[in-house]
Amino acid sequence: MCSLENLYRVDRASIELARLDGMMRFIDDGTLEMLISNLSLRESASSSSIEGTRSTLDDVFRSEKIGERDEWRSRDNQEIVNYCNLSLNPC
């Protein structure tokens, strides 16, 4: 049986999802693609850290701009990017 608190949370979540759905109608495809890519990269960095990578999301963005000289960080960054690519483009 659901508690009143849980029902309230489900109701709030439904309202927020409806708001998000409404806002999505005003976002162009390029912006939507960027948002999905960035959120997926953030999730990939978080999941990869559980598996032992030491790079942060900032490290990945920085290495895309200026490269990475530190070998272990470069490998960790690549692992995060690979994880992200797999999540966006599953086999």
pLDDT for res 18: 94
Q: Tens of pLDDT along 46-65? A: 888 888 888 888 888 888 77
Burial class, 91, CB count within 10 angstroms (exposed 0-12 / middle 13-18 / buried 19+): exposed
pLDDT for res 56: 85
pLDDT for res 7: 92
CA atoms within 13 A on the CB side of 52: 2
Q: Tens of pLDDT along 1-32? A: 678 999 999 999 999 999 988 988 888 999 98
The full set of domain ranges for the chain reads 28-88
Cα–Cα distance measured from residue 84 to residue 57, given in angstroms and rounded to the nearest whole number:
12
